[in-house]
Structure 1
Amino acid sequence: MRNPGLITIALWLTGTAHAAQDRPAMPPVTDQFLLDQLEPGEEIETRADGDLNGDGDPDTVFVIASPDERHLYVVLSYRGEVDIGHEPGGNFKLGPDRLGPAGLTISKGVLTIRDLTGGTTALSATYRYRAATTKDGQRMRLIGLDAKVYSRTYAHDGDEMSWNVATGDTITTLLKITGTGEDRAYDKVYTRKFKRPVRTIYMEDTPGAEEELVGVTKAK
């Protein structure tokens, strides 16, 4: 099993000891750096670059995948008084049974991760994060989580949830099968809107999307 701390150590070892004011915009971490983190049987599933912490330099998000597990990492740029470089911003496990590569986008400081896993019954999960400043540095904080469990062959009903973690606003909906044969589709019924307690969740503590969905739909 991959140890996330190994990438943390590698990042600190590759910190750049040049004066921040003497260097132009910092490039993102290289493909070679990412490849150097791989163990036998692993691959870089996908990556995305963009400014997450508002310093004008590109940050990097990438997924390392193997046949048995997938792990997402965030690397943030930093500019100190005497040096610049990259540091870990967060990481968490994705479901191993992917139905395609994860979708990664960075827009206006928000990281959005879209992931589809499962088989005939699929889990579609969307995670949203912002960089937050803490006493220990910058960390990625979960601000939104959407989840949907459904049958790709319309063999059963489904459920979906949209949770604004920053405000607590939550919406759940039952997906009811309508029609027959090739005309089968999902109809959204029994929509509930309610608030959940607001709490701070950093990337390393990201809850399971399906577990959260089951928890709120069973409570209805």
Structure 2
Amino acid sequence: MRTLALAALLLASGGAQAMQRPEVPVMSDDEIQATMKAGEEVENRVNGDFNGDGDIDTAWIVRGEDSRALHVQFAARGEYDMYHEPAGSADLDPFPLGPAEMTVSKGVLVVKDLTGGTTAISATYRFRGEKMKPKMRLIGLDATLYSRTYAHDGAEMSWNVLTGDVIATKMKLIGSGENANYDKSAVKRFKRPVRAYYMEDTPDAEETLDMAMKGK
């Protein structure tokens, strides 16, 4: 009886494994290259499950001579095949101060970008995939304007796009030389109207920060 029970358990286990759906292959470098124009190169890429379906999606940034853009494709399944489909794109500043940092945290794509010169804009974009359609939605945007040489005041903003909550902070320059720093005590909070911002609708970080400092 024990032998029969063990055999039945092994058969059941093998059947369950056989019924598991196959994984969609992770998007290859060649597939990404096929979407690019002459003279463009991949600045960075990251893989992760952005829409919670259990399959691995891919995000990458392409940089050309005077253009730069973020792209996402979802792993997808047809009746008889598996493939990747576009889920969103967003233009980025074409002249960053270095490659953007891309990570995945709890299914959220986080893109950190630093642009400008001695006056810099640090922006952090957060995107999450929709489950019912191939779309990436902006769910958060943080931005900071500051002087890398402590030559002037700065400002920062944190915007929860899902709730509309905005925290805007004036950064007052204090001290000088090696003792220069920013005082972030001037903080105001307000709400923006809630609407869906998909990746294509991603607003410019500097313009959004400027509006936030005006309470808009």
SS of 1:138 mapped into structure 2: coil
Quote the residue 2:120 is aligned against. Answer: 122
Query: 2:41 maps to which residue?
Result: 43
Query: How far has the Cα of 1:119 moved from its partner?
Result: 0.6
Q: Percent identity among equivalent residues?
A: 55
How big is the shift at 1:185?
A: 1.3
1:32 counterpart residue number: 30
8 Å Cα contact 2:70-2:91 kept in structure 1: yes
Encode CA deviations 1:43-74: one digit per residue, 9 max, x unaligned.
Answer: 10000001112222210000000231101100
Q: Quick one: structure 1 residues 36 and 84, their matched pair in 2 at CA, closer, same or farther if it must change by over 3 Å?
A: closer
1:177 aligns with 2:166: no
The structure 2 residue matched to 1:52, chosen from 46, 50, 58, is 50
**Amino acid across the alignment from 1:207:** P
The alignment yields a C-alpha RMSD, in angstroms, of: 1.6
C-alpha separation between the residues in 2 aligned to 1:172 and 1:35?
Answer: 40
Distance 2:71 2:57 in 1: 11
Match of 2:154 in 1: 158
Letter in 2 for 1:88: P
Does residue 208 of the first structure (1) align with residue 204 of the second (2)? Answer: yes
Are 1:168 and 2:168 matched, yes or no? no
* Deviation readout 1:153-186 (Å, 9 max, x if unpaired): 1111011000000001110001111111111111
The match for 1:62 is 60
Task: Give the Cα–Cα distance (whole angstroms) in 1 for the partners of residues 36 and 194 of structure 2.
Answer: 37
- Consecutive unaligned residues in structure 1, runs of 5 or more: 1-20
Residue 108 of structure 1 corresponds to: 106
1:217 aligns with 2:213: yes
AA aligned to 1:62 is W
**Is 1:143 aligned to 2:139, yes or no?**
yes
Equivalent AA in structure 1 for residue 135 of structure 2 = R
**For residues 131 and 141 of structure 1, what CA distance do their matches in structure 2 show?**
6
Contact preservation (8 Å) 2:66, 2:94: yes
Q: In structure 2, what is the Cα distance between the partners aligned to 1:176 and 1:146?
A: 18
Aligned to 1:14: none
Alignment-mate amino acid for residue 213 of structure 1: L
CA distance in 2, matches of 1:58, 1:103: 19
Distance 1:138 1:39, change over 3 A: closer
In the TM superposition, structure 1's runs of 4+ consecutive aligned residues that sit over 4 Å from their partners are none
> Quick one: distance in 2 between partners of 1:128 and 1:219?
22
Q: TM-score, normalised by structure 1?
A: 0.85
Secondary structure of the 2:96 match is coil
Cα pair 2:112 2:123 within 8 Å, conserved: yes
Q: For 2:40 and 2:148, how far apart are their aligned partners in 1?
A: 28
Distance 2:215 2:165 in 1: 15
Q: What residue identity is the alignment partner of 1:164?
A: N
Q: Deviations over 1:23-60 (max 9, x none)?
A: 62122111122223332321100000011122222100
